[in-house]
Amino acid sequence: MAGLIAGFLLCTGLAHAGIATVQNTFDDSTAVDFDGTWFIPPDVILDHSPYYRGMWEDWGWTHSLKGQEPNNALGIESATLEISAWDVDVNDPEGAEIDIIYADDVELGALNDTDGRNWGTTTFELPPAVLQRLWADGELYVYIDIDTIRDFTGQRVTLGYAILTVNYQVPGLGVAQHVPIYRFWSPVLQSHFYTALEWEKEKLLVEYPDVWTYEGEVYQALSDANEPNSAPVYRFWSNVLGNHFYTMNEKERDQLIEQHPGLWDDEGIAFYAFPVDQQPAETIPIYQFWSDALGTHFYTAEETERDELVKNHPDLWTYEGIAWYAYSKEQEKAEEEKKEEEKDEKVPAG
């Protein structure tokens, strides 16, 4: 039944429907616990095995959107798959390289030539048959067939990342999905960790309970930039400091990437929120602190927690101001209860 409904929605479109966009990124940081995935990690030689894959070393990965889909989604309007690859020799006269990408056994096409040992990207539009499966299952299996047009074994390719972008049809003008931000504390690392990813939360709970203590949901952010004035919050990890850093400042992000590659590893977009002075009236500030003693940042949506650190721990924590704005968890729950009440009122008695 879900497949039939999806087919109707995808083929005919919906009147007065907006679009909510969700992105799912697969790279080395998200594929660490998946067998048979070969997205290259930072600081690894590009043309060495096992990440530099050749013929008979084909492999695949699965994008899962379960838990990321907008709650009010009516169907999928369109979707794209962007793949970053290194050293794709399509135009090699000695044996042209044809790296074919499949999605759920449907051929999408071949990776673009990168003009030698360079990085390049190829973007594929997902066909209706693939969109129907994605709508029904919430998952997309992608496979790369590394091949040549001749019996030439020297061709290989390295992948950096894959980004699945899905445009969901939703009622009205299209509102970004609110996602909970989960907070953890590590007495081992003496730092906090924040994530909007359900699977990442579960991973820490199940596999690292001795390292991370779950402190619950602290506020609500956005899954994409569909709401006006929203922008990405970028996440970094430091092996040296043993903690994460979050910023909305693109200049700060670029500075860390360009000037401190050995100190901070770019982990991409963590979630979306609102910059200072561009926030909706119903949002709340997220306060930022820095500790020289601990070498870590701390973020909180609680004024009482902010005031406690400012008043009683000025020697340990330095208040740095408002990092961004987001929605409160209480407001989100109140809106959900209101929707349920309105839904119940529309149900005829008897």
The domains of the chain are located at 14-28+35-171, 178-333
Q: What is the pLDDT of residue 56?
A: 86
Top-ranked range on mean pLDDT: pick from 14-28, 33-47, 99-113: 99-113
Confidence grade of residue 155 (pLDDT, cut at 50, 70, 90): confident
pLDDT at 239 over 60: yes
Confidence grade of residue 154 (pLDDT, cut at 50, 70, 90): low
pLDDT per residue as tens digits for the range 313-327: 999 999 999 999 999
Q: What is the pLDDT of residue 151?
A: 53
- Residue 223: alpha-carbon gap to chain centroid: 8
Confidence grade of residue 18 (pLDDT, cut at 50, 70, 90): confident
Q: What are the start-end ranges of the H helices in 114-181?
A: 128-137
Q: Identify the CATH assignment for 14-28+35-171 out of 3.40.50, 2.60.120, 1.10.510, 2.40.50.
A: 2.60.120
pLDDT at 349 over 70: no
- Arithmetic mean of pLDDT over the chain: 84
Over residues 30-42, mean pLDDT: 77
pLDDT per residue as tens digits for the range 287-344: 999 999 999 999 999 999 999 999 999 999 999 999 999 999 876 555 555 545 544 5
Q: Beta strand pairing status for 191-195 and 178-186?
A: antiparallel
At residue 137, φ and ψ (nearest 5 deg) are: -105, -25
Q: What are the start-end ranges of the H helices in 94-146?
A: 128-137
Q: What is the pLDDT of residue 152?
A: 53
pTM: 0.51
pLDDT at 36 over 90: no
Let me know: does 339 contact 323? Beta carbons within 8 Å: no
Burial 169-208 (b: 16+ CB within 10 A, else e): bbeeebebbbbbbbbbebeebebbbbbbeeeebeebeeee
Query: Quick one: CA torsion of 36, 37, 41, 44, rounded to 10 degrees?
Result: 50
